[in-house]
A and B are shown apart, each in its own frame.
Chain A
Amino acid sequence: MKTIAIGIAYVILAPVIGGLLVGLDRIISARMQRRVGPPILQPFYDIFKLLQKKTVVVNRLQNPAIFCHLFFMIATGFLFFEGSDILLIIFVLTLSGVFLVLAASASGSPFSHIGAERELILMTAYEPMVLMMLVGIYKVTDSFHFYAILESAKPLIVYLPGIFVGFLYILTMKLRKSPFDISYSHHAHQELVKGIMSDMSGKSIAMVEIAHWYENVFLLGLVYLFFGFSPVLGIAAVILTYVFEILVDNTFARFRWELAFRSAWLVALVLGGGNLIALYALMGGA
């Protein structure tokens, strides 16, 4: 019962936390560029404004696909904090991503289409690292469940340093940060007009944005897992990770998709694979 309550708390609180995180992100980014930046509640103002705007829907597939994207994103986080199997959760997350690609492909806009293609490329780029992370976590804790992993009290970061760094690398893609914001960028200096969001307006943008907030909180939950043996350290690590991603966002120029894809697989192979090999060599067994 308790775990279900935490899951429901996630569904209610994640948009609030996610929105505040994005607001903080925008202020910190502005300060890094010697600007003042918007108020911290700006992301919420944007969402409320978008809900009041007229929504132009390009065809019948677009809105159901965006709704499914949001629904499965919420399901991902709910199942994660409810303590379900992380393997299942990663598949639900992928399903959610596929619906966003479908929504973008539904439009006739070439910008939207290239955005969708790039989103697919990013998904193939980060997926191997995610799976290696799961294998590593299972090898150390013998479990795929959030609470069982926490209760094992194993310092995952000590066992899986390579996998954690690799995860940070793909986290930049998942958070849609530069240098990997090739399918859709939050910044004014976007390319492809707005990538996957080009043909969305009003409530559609609001739904994708809220899904992104849910995703951010879920991903930071994954970061917490690595430091779960000590809650204080865990929360400190989550905050540090987020600030680090903002710093990376503001210091790197956008990669081409080839570099994004190759580097992500190289990182997965060297850091993730290397970590796994070391783990099996030291711990032994199947």
Chain B
Amino acid sequence: MSQITLNTLSTEMDEISAAYTAAGGDAAVLHKHELASLVVSGNKVLNANGTEGIVLEKHETEYGVDIKMTIKKGYKIPLPVHLCFGLVPKDGLQEIKMDFIAEEDSAVELIAHCTFPNAVNIIHKMDAQMLIGKNASLRYTETHFHGSHGGIRVIPKAHIKIEEGGSYYTNFSLISGRVGYLEFDYSVDAEKDSICEMVTKVYGKKNDKIKILEKISLNGENARSVIKSRLAITDDAESEFRGITEGHAPRARGHVDCMEVIQGNAKAEAIPIVRVDNPLAKVTHEASIGCVDKKELETLMARGLEEDEAIDIIVKGMLA
């Protein structure tokens, strides 16, 4: 069954399309009939376009939208599904509830842009439940843009369950403009033969505050995971990273990798936590916090770059 709904309010659609572009998205994809897409501005669904194999249900609430997206059993969605969540005004509250199900043997890529280009006093909350069915695959890229004021609190929370043989790749990126306050909290339960890769990349400036909590429980035999975090903070920004991986089953393999670059008066804390209660499981971790690598910096300066330019290139590479 495919459910297709179009609900376009032209002025708001134009504004959110511009904001989507500011976040790095290509607004044209939101208007292509052959691509599945969902555009939510505040608590209004401006555009919802499903394609075969995708069931998209949405319900507008007082401050946001409840969404249920199901990828039907056996469907491999050939083109990415584009999602846009945002608020164009300077202030407001947006609450998104997402119930996502990738049924057995399905595959999909979601590309989400969350854009708040004028944020001065905004709260954006997301609460997601995601189920990756047996041998199903979800690739999820989420790019945020919060404008230049730093007046935003973004609180995304998700629980993901990956069933046997399923795979989940996620890449959360917030590297342009200010962060404001970010409290990122994702937890994953990974069953037998599943794969999970979680990547977060955030660039904090001025008095931005970044809290990242990622937890993966490798519950099933041969489940594998990587948590990779790349943070750069400068000025008076602060960051706190906790990456937890638990190995509960034979041949479960996990790795936590956190690298943070700090400059100015920034403060960073990184705590990789590994817990293993099965002797055949193995979880490793690495974490580094410091200034830009001296040899990298001097190499670029020896090619003629000023120190600031060299730092910028190194940090942008790390966050690319």
Q: Do these two chains really belong together in a complex?
A: no
